[in-house]
Structure 1
Amino acid sequence: MNNGNQYQNRPMRRTQHSKMGKHPKPNRHSSLIKKLLLAAVAVFVAMIIFGGGLFMYYAQSAPKITEAKLSSDNATVIYDKDGKVLTRLGSQNREYVKKDKIPKTLKNAIVSIEDRRFYKNNGVDPIRIVGATVANLTGSSLGLQGASTLTQQLVKLSVFSTDASDRTLRVKAQEAWLALKVDKKYSKDQILEFYINKVYMGNGIYGMQTAAKYYFGKSLEKLDLAQLALLAGMPQSPTNYDPISNPKYAKSRRDTVLQAMASNKVVTQAQATEAQKESISDGLSETHETSTNSAKKNKIIDPYIKQVLQDLSDKGFDTAKGGLKVYTNMDYAAQKKLYDLANNDQTVQFNDDELQIGATLVNSKNGKIAAMIGGRKTGDVTYGLNRAVQTDRSSGSTAKPLMDYGPAFEYLKWSTYRKVKDTPFTYPGTDTKLYDFDHKFKGTMTVRDALIQSRNVPAIRTLQDVGISKATTFLEGLGITSKEPYNLNNGIGLYISTLQTAAAYAAFANDGIYHKPTYINKIDTNSGKTYTYKSKGVRAMSKATAFLMTSILKGVTTDSQGSGTAANITGMNMASKTGTVAYSKKATEANDIPSSASSDSWMAGYTKDYSLAVWTGYDHPNTSTGYLTQSQTELAQYYWKYMIYYLSQYSSNEDWTMPSTVGKKGTNQYYQIGEDYDETGKSDEYSKNNSSSSWSSYSSKHSNSSYSSRYSSSDADDDDSSSNDTSSEDSSSTPSYSSDVSSNDTTSDSTSTTTSASTTSTSSASDSE
């Protein structure tokens, strides 16, 4: 049998193994790659999980998006203090167009240039995100459309801002989440309708239908291919692609859109090429049509809104991007009254339409700017010259409480009955003489009488006693600074605005607390952020200083010799100061103008509730027609009076309470308890100004001066200094003057004036009084 031998010829297992040879060594390099790949996959998965979790975390806190937000305009809305709409920047120029009225060609153009996969994606396009990332890294023009879909752009315009601060991972995640929700809820045509009506199209207008009317004078459905392509490409950069101001860039963008349409096969290449040949100016309208309600800015609020826009810009907001809700401090009723008194109401009799005005009304207690007028009879000019904030006209004697007597009360602790000298005055170290309007001197008088009568020499003597340094410090505490060093002349005329003046006088009304004037109370952004603005009061002077000043300024309108009797309101608790600036002596002589002519007239004053400063004059002074007559200088007083009277019906007639640091002497004189002051000062150290013989000689020589009876004491306002013109022709000994004005005899434009406190350089015409 062969059974026993059947295994004899089989090799043993050991023999088989020996024939197979040795095992191959493991590939360590391959193993390392596998491990790295597995690690990379793990990291990638972890990143996806982490990213998804972070996305959902951000999505949960996403703002709500409603149809109202999607369909509303994206304008900046400005409100008054009561939350009522004053104006809507841009939206008033929007004409909403429904989806069935939107040309298909426009829809195709927008989709081709902004989001080719619009009809295929669900609001977010991963392919687009990857493609844009690669294109941006390589610098390819294919990155032109960016990563955001049209739906995401709509969401951004509706609930987020375009500020750099909103370009964060959180916002991008929320934007994508909301885009998914919008795409799910609304049809593609509805989304396009929202987008087309919301985008900013330059020149303060929103929406493509409005843009069609503005740029071409036609509705969208009447525009040709090239014109629709132009509009479709503008939202990316409305200013740069404006066909009127930037035709070169506008054409380049339009042609890019046309080529994108051809690539997307919504027009033929031949059609795109033909449209590209069309001139960018073809069909542009010479006049730009907008909706009736918004083509003209409201004249009543124009100057105030101009400053609000400037304030927004200073705060870092771009109103062109829209979406802001700006709550101002404007009292619209007061704003309208300011306008009507200057333009419509015949209560104040302005002589002609060229006579101008600037005025600012400030809340005395908090610095909120309640109203402002920048001119009268200005026509259809929008955001033109705002005379309420100009600082190139002297304020006349309204400067005296701010630079002379206020600092004297604050630092020298004067009383209201401290004696000051109204005697012949020559600036120390010079031959420059200072006069009042009447070319007379009244001898020694109290501070109260000197300020009420607005005598110049006592004011300058007071400033000498105070010193320029302390006067400057006092002014700075009231928000008044100057690039040029102050000098003695500034004591009877500061180059400040009605806004600065009203805010400074408000500190007297508010027991010495100064508030920086503010236009804006609150700003809400469309991303949900709120910015609140409030002026924090700072003590600019003691309660005693404020009270003493107010007690005197009350008499400006009530005292028989007060300079502002034309503004008196019987029974009203108010304080005020006038200011008038003399015309250039050179101009009066050259143009045969009365020597009583003035270039500027002011009235500034306050109640417990409001502070109002008014300037009147012509835009071109020192010309043959740019001067104010004596009767015209009272217009500022009348305007101030009627505005304050109007405001009285909405405010209290509260009087000021004498602080515990003030004592009373007689019927209307006050002093600071426990404080001593000198009866003589630095102004007495210059012997040339304090010689009794020189005054006696002057008085005798001018006892019958023709100036003495030119104006009655009730309306004389003896403010500022000399000529506006600083030429050597003004260096005669005869001053230029008018009813609220005094004069310096000029000798030089850079005369050195020395006091015991400091050495200053002054020109007698430096304040153009």
Structure 2
Amino acid sequence: MSSNNQTRQTRMSRNAERKPSGPKQPHTGWRTFRRILFVIVAIVVLGLLAGAGLFFFYAQSAPKITAGALSSDTSTRVYDANGQVISRLGAQNRNYVKNKNIPDTLKKAVVSTEDRRFYKNNGVDPIRIMGAAFANVTGSSLGMQGGSTLTQQLVKLSVFSTAASDRTLKRKAQEAWLALKVDHDYSKNQILEYYINKVYMGNGVYGMQTAAQYYYGKTLKHLSLAQLALLAGMPQSPTNYDPTTYPALAKKRRDLVLEAMAKNNVITEAQAQQAEATSITAGLTKTHKSTSTNPKTTKVIDAYLKQVYAELKSKGYNTTTGGLKVYTNLDMGAQKRLYDIVNGTAYISFPSDKFQVGSTIVNPNNGKVVAMIGGRKTGNVTFGLNRAVQTDRSSASTAKPLMDYGPAIEHLYYPTYEPVKDTAFTYPGTNKNLYDWDRRYQGTITMRKALVESRNIPAVRTLQNVGIKRATSFLAGLGMTFDKTLTLQNGIGLYISSEQEAAAYAAFANGGTYYKPYLVSKVVTQDGKAHKYSSTGKKAMSAATAFMLTDMMKGVMTSANGSGRSAAISGLYQAGKTGTDSYPDDYANKVPDGATMDSWFTGYTKNYAVSVWTGYDKQFETGHYVSETQTTIAQEIYKYEMSYLASKSTNTDWTAPSTVTETTQNGTKEYYITGHAGTVADTTATSQYGSTNTTSSSAYSSNSQVTTNSNTTQASSSTTESSTSKESSSTEQTPGGGNAGDDDDNTTSNSTSTTESSSATTTTQKSTKTNDNDD
């Protein structure tokens, strides 16, 4: 009995040990999980609230979107100075198609391709966003569905830039907000209509109706399933899916659209397979309808437009899908006249269709480029070589006012009658002689005479006195900088464009202020914001320098010995300079006597500055030279164009500023900077071939300039490097020696031979050649 009791007590004791001593407690792991879950939920809720707050904050600053913005094309409209549309890059011949004329098959193809839940979403599709994210991770989307709905894509095309740099959180929030508004305010059919008419379809074509006509020569309602599927798939990458250029890629994309349509149950599998079997090139037209508003007008303004788009690009604008309104400084009347002059036969007889022209016209008072021609007889080439802005041809003697005489007046106070030496000259540190076009020396002459007759040697001697450093600084003030250090030879030839030269000469015209040339005056972006542009004038030289140069350059056209008499216009107050660039000596015997590679004329009034280059693109090909008589063509182009410009502007003369004093020297009206009258020298001419007195006075003006003496006995052509060209030409020279040409300090160099002892900088502007130029 007692044994049984002990057994029961033992069991009860063990059971008691198994029972908990207090209330039952939850498992510790479960408590931790609940806490983590709570934190996650709290973070998600706070994130959603913060995201919603940020979304509505960004949404408040979203641009307005109107029916006009949704329905308009995204081409870049370009206007002339009078506000007339001159070009629409993109949908120039865009044919807007109304909803009732859009085939249901195309609508189904677009929806199946771009937004399968289009009819179910409210403009923004969270399910689509998550699906796109998953597809991007797994790579299962086949490039068919992105995160943006079709409505969001329409909004992006209508009011936002499509540039990758603009894909910010703020922009995406605004895009989503506007998509919700568009979906609320417009029907699905209206949204589809806007989208189908707006998308870019390659080759400057916007809208699927225009694309149907461009690629197939038909309207949308006359296209087959396969053709409509191709068009529906093109907006994602219009260039790569161009069936004429990349048929394989286009077919792959078209077939994906057909598969998506079948998957969306809008066509059968059999229909999809039958369409896929159709050749991608079936029905494509061989001739495409022009996408320009007026092909003839576009050809007239081709060079100007090309430069406009270059200017827009430099400012960061997207001209392809930006939907910009671009207002330019183009004077269409001046542009058409310039085009007619160089392409017609009514004004000038050109030697051949290959003879080329580059010309720029600038308003001296603000830097506006009012007209530009980049070539002649260019055929149907669009945006071809713009010779008006090319910088690989020497400007020849048109460089003399810019690099030689301008700095001399500005820094050395040369009067217009400054004595300059036209005597034998050898480039310092070399055995290379410099000649004038007639291979004669005139001894000591005035600066005015040297400039009017375009004598080379006085110009280079003047540059030598000024110094390369000062001359380079003067050029920089006129908007011209160079990769390599300039040399004495650049004093008779700079590698600059007609645009640069017109803007530089414009500073002479307006009294010394340089305006950087520009074509675009205002840009209005799709969001309605206007961005205005202008050129801020910077003082490049004194009013005295500008006036004195102008007064001397009047004689280029009016003097009996002036080099630019073919540019003269009776009764017009104007000034200008000629320039012709000779062939190198090793090529001179292959062209007729007096033939040149390039011929220039740059002239101006108080209202316009016109620079003209003429020559051949391939100047070393047989027959591609400018004959001596043809060198006047540049002057004639200027004359006919300036005559037109003068007819629509005032004709007023320049007046001397108060810092300039008038005087009479040897019966000629001359000018000097007040307080710097200088000394009149004996300017008896010395001819290499004549018996004129060879006495040359050493009297110079009061400034401390370089005095470079040469033996009065002239060197004969038999003892120097020969040249048969009108303008003596040489191969590249690298003058050596000291640094007299580099210093602003003027040094004196004396020599009793034909070789000058002072030196110039050792680096040439161009590595290929440098020519001696004159007129």
* TMscore range, shorter length: 0.7 to 0.9
Q: Is the 8 A contact 1:416 1:671 kept in 2?
A: yes
For residue 91 of structure 2, what is the aligned residue in structure 1?
A: 91
Measure, in 1, the Cα distance between the counterparts of 2:177 and 2:705. Answer: 75
Measure, in 2, the Cα distance between the counterparts of 1:87 and 1:558. Answer: 41
Deviates more, 1:359-368 or 1:321-330: 321-330
Q: Is the 8 A contact 1:521 1:532 kept in 2?
A: yes
Q: Is the 8 A contact 1:417 1:448 kept in 2?
A: yes
Residues 510-549 of structure 1 aligned to structure 2 (within 5 Å): 510-549=510-549
What amino acid maps onto 2:163 in structure 1? Answer: D
Measure, in 2, the Cα distance between the counterparts of 1:628 and 1:241. Answer: 47
> Offset of 1:40 from its aligned partner?
4.2
Residues 468-526 of structure 1 show CA distances to partners (whole Å, capped at 9, x for unaligned) of 22222222222223333322222112222111111111122232221221121222221
What amino acid maps onto 1:508 in structure 2? Answer: F
For residue 725 of structure 2, what is the aligned residue in structure 1?
A: 737
Q: Is the 8 A contact 1:753 1:759 kept in 2?
A: yes
What amino acid maps onto 1:192 in structure 2? Answer: L
1:598 equivalent among 582, 593, 596? 596
For residue 628 of structure 1, what is the aligned residue in structure 2?
A: 626
Q: Is the 8 A contact 1:80 1:330 kept in 2?
A: yes
Residues 452-601 of structure 1 aligned to structure 2 (within 5 Å): 452-583=452-583, 589-590=589-590, 593-601=591-599
Q: Structure 1 residues 760 and 47 mapped into 2: Cα distance closer, same or farther (>3 Å)? A: closer
Deviates more, 1:261-270 or 1:758-767: 758-767
Deviates more, 1:528-537 or 1:319-328: 528-537
Q: Structure 1 residues 364 and 292 mapped into 2: Cα distance closer, same or farther (>3 Å)? A: closer
Residues 143-177 of structure 1 show CA distances to partners (whole Å, capped at 9, x for unaligned) of 84122111111111111121234323333233223
> Offset of 1:676 from its aligned partner?
8.4
> Offset of 1:97 from its aligned partner?
1.9
Secondary structure of 1:654's aligned partner: coil
Secondary structure of 2:370's aligned partner: strand
2:605 is aligned with 1:617: no
What amino acid maps onto 2:638 in structure 1? Answer: W
Q: Which runs of 5+ in 1 are unaligned?
A: 1-18, 703-730
Q: Is the 8 A contact 2:428 2:760 kept in 1?
A: no
Measure, in 1, the Cα distance between the counterparts of 2:290 and 2:553. Answer: 51
Measure, in 2, the Cα distance between the counterparts of 1:485 and 1:472. Answer: 9
> Offset of 1:650 from its aligned partner?
3.0
> Offset of 1:118 from its aligned partner?
0.8
Secondary structure of 1:616's aligned partner: strand
Residues 201-253 of structure 1 show CA distances to partners (whole Å, capped at 9, x for unaligned) of 01110111221222233332233222222211110111122222222322222
Measure, in 2, the Cα distance between the counterparts of 1:419 and 1:292. Answer: 58
Residues 51-450 of structure 1 aligned to structure 2 (within 5 Å): 51-141=51-141, 144-290=144-290, 293=293, 298-344=298-344, 346-450=346-450
Measure, in 1, the Cα distance between the counterparts of 2:524 and 2:675. Answer: 51
Q: Is the 8 A contact 2:361 2:609 kept in 1?
A: yes
Q: Is the 8 A contact 2:588 2:723 kept in 1?
A: no
Measure, in 1, the Cα distance between the counterparts of 2:734 and 2:150. Answer: 70
What amino acid maps onto 1:283 in structure 2? Answer: G
What amino acid maps onto 1:594 in structure 2? Answer: P
Deviates more, 1:182-191 or 1:353-362: 182-191
Q: Is the 8 A contact 1:489 1:764 kept in 2?
A: no
Measure, in 1, the Cα distance between the counterparts of 2:414 and 2:451. Answer: 14
Secondary structure of 1:81's aligned partner: coil
Measure, in 2, the Cα distance between the counterparts of 1:759 and 1:438. Answer: 25
What amino acid maps onto 1:304 in structure 2? Answer: Y
> Offset of 1:368 from its aligned partner?
1.5
Secondary structure of 2:440's aligned partner: coil
What amino acid maps onto 2:496 in structure 1? Answer: I
2:735 equivalent among 752, 758, 764? 752
Residues 540-564 of structure 1 show CA distances to partners (whole Å, capped at 9, x for unaligned) of 2222222221121122112222211
Secondary structure of 2:360's aligned partner: strand
Deviates more, 1:471-480 or 1:47-56: 47-56
> Offset of 1:27 from its aligned partner?
5.1
What amino acid maps onto 1:193 in structure 2? Answer: E
Measure, in 1, the Cα distance between the counterparts of 2:339 and 2:531. Answer: 30
> Offset of 1:361 from its aligned partner?
0.3
What amino acid maps onto 1:639 in structure 2? Answer: I
> Offset of 1:302 from its aligned partner?
0.7
1:767 equivalent among 768, 771, 775? 771
2:711 equivalent among 691, 706, 714? 691
Measure, in 2, the Cα distance between the counterparts of 1:589 and 1:423. Answer: 26
Q: Is the 8 A contact 1:503 1:515 kept in 2?
A: yes
Secondary structure of 1:357's aligned partner: strand
Q: Structure 1 residues 143 and 628 mapped into 2: Cα distance closer, same or farther (>3 Å)? A: closer
Deviates more, 1:494-503 or 1:136-145: 136-145
Residues 593-742 of structure 1 aligned to structure 2 (within 5 Å): 593-666=591-664, 668-675=669-676, 679=701, 684-685=707-708, 690-692=710-712, 694-695=713-714, 733-738=721-726, 742=727
Measure, in 2, the Cα distance between the counterparts of 1:376 and 1:508. Answer: 29
Q: Is the 8 A contact 2:415 2:676 kept in 1?
A: no
What amino acid maps onto 1:604 in structure 2? Answer: T
Two-structure CA RMSD over aligned residues (Å): 2.9
Q: Is the 8 A contact 1:132 1:143 kept in 2?
A: no
> Offset of 1:197 from its aligned partner?
1.0
Q: Is the 8 A contact 1:427 1:753 kept in 2?
A: no
> Offset of 1:576 from its aligned partner?
0.6
What amino acid maps onto 1:476 in structure 2? Answer: A
Measure, in 2, the Cα distance between the counterparts of 1:295 and 1:564. Answer: 36
> Offset of 1:404 from its aligned partner?
0.9
What amino acid maps onto 2:728 in structure 1? Answer: S
Deviates more, 1:758-767 or 1:607-616: 758-767
Q: Is the 8 A contact 1:106 1:232 kept in 2?
A: yes
Q: Is the 8 A contact 2:292 2:298 kept in 1?
A: no
Residues 99-139 of structure 1 show CA distances to partners (whole Å, capped at 9, x for unaligned) of 22222222111111110011112222222122223333555
Q: Structure 1 residues 150 and 768 mapped into 2: Cα distance closer, same or farther (>3 Å)? A: farther
Measure, in 2, the Cα distance between the counterparts of 1:139 and 1:112. Answer: 19
Measure, in 2, the Cα distance between the counterparts of 1:143 and 1:467. Answer: 65
Q: Is the 8 A contact 2:661 2:671 kept in 1?
A: yes
Secondary structure of 2:672's aligned partner: strand
Q: Structure 1 residues 290 and 492 mapped into 2: Cα distance closer, same or farther (>3 Å)? A: closer
> Offset of 1:52 from its aligned partner?
3.5
Deviates more, 1:454-463 or 1:384-393: 384-393
Deviates more, 1:131-140 or 1:508-517: 131-140
Measure, in 2, the Cα distance between the counterparts of 1:768 and 1:150. Answer: 65
Give me the TM-score of the superposition, normalised by structure 1: 0.86
Secondary structure of 1:489's aligned partner: helix
Measure, in 1, the Cα distance between the counterparts of 2:217 and 2:51. Answer: 50
Q: Structure 1 residues 478 and 167 mapped into 2: Cα distance closer, same or farther (>3 Å)? A: same
Q: Is the 8 A contact 2:556 2:562 kept in 1?
A: yes
Measure, in 1, the Cα distance between the counterparts of 2:733 and 2:395. Answer: 21
Q: Is the 8 A contact 1:409 1:545 kept in 2?
A: yes
Identity, in percent, stands at 56
Q: Is the 8 A contact 2:330 2:371 kept in 1?
A: yes
Residues 702-725 of structure 1 show CA distances to partners (whole Å, capped at 9, x for unaligned) of 9xxxxxxxxxxxxxxxxxxxxxxx
Q: Is the 8 A contact 1:436 1:737 kept in 2?
A: no
Residues 46-66 of structure 1 show CA distances to partners (whole Å, capped at 9, x for unaligned) of 444444444334333332222
> Offset of 1:371 from its aligned partner?
0.6
Measure, in 1, the Cα distance between the counterparts of 2:432 and 2:244. Answer: 58
Q: Is the 8 A contact 1:112 1:264 kept in 2?
A: yes
For residue 694 of structure 2, what is the aligned residue in structure 1?
A: none
> Offset of 1:645 from its aligned partner?
2.3
Secondary structure of 1:154's aligned partner: helix
